[in-house]
Amino acid sequence: MAIEIAFVLFIIALSLGLTSGYVTRITARNASGIAQLKQASGFRLLLGALGTAALIANIAWGFTYLPWWITPLAFLVTSLLVVPKLIGARMERYALLYRGQTALDAVQILIVLYLWLDKLRLF
């Protein structure tokens, strides 16, 4: 796989992972959100935990296969510009992302698995 495609997949997975984490953080800010998180299905909780692990694995992949400065720069740009724009101040967008958070985690996990398996030549 060309490094350009891998870089794009890295950025997409990073954006999905940080967005999912940001949605969880916003949800946990108030009592009703904490109750929502406590009532989440086991599958959603499992995907959330795997999504967090995939975010860490994606960052590790970036430090391993990209020049060292790209990963922190991508993390900062994604954290400060992309994620807040995705969610924004409109609660409609947040509600949509909360409902789709399981899909965000699943797609991120698949992308990170693909990146690692491709570089390790297991694919």
Look at residue 14 and give its three-state secondary structure.
helix
Look at residue 123 and give its three-state secondary structure.
coil
100-120: per-residue pLDDT in tens? Answer: 889 999 999 999 999 999 988
**What residues contact residue 101 under an 8 Å CB cut-off, 6+ apart?**
20, 23, 24, 44, 48
Mean pLDDT in residue range 17-40: 79
Contact 24, 37 (CB under 8 A): yes
102 vs 71: CA distance, rounded Å: 25
User: What local confidence, expressed as pLDDT, does residue 17 receive?
Assistant: 94
| Residue 98 predicted with pLDDT over 90 | no
53 vs 70: CA distance, rounded Å: 20
User: What local confidence, expressed as pLDDT, does residue 1 receive?
Assistant: 59
C-alpha 95: how far from chain center:
17
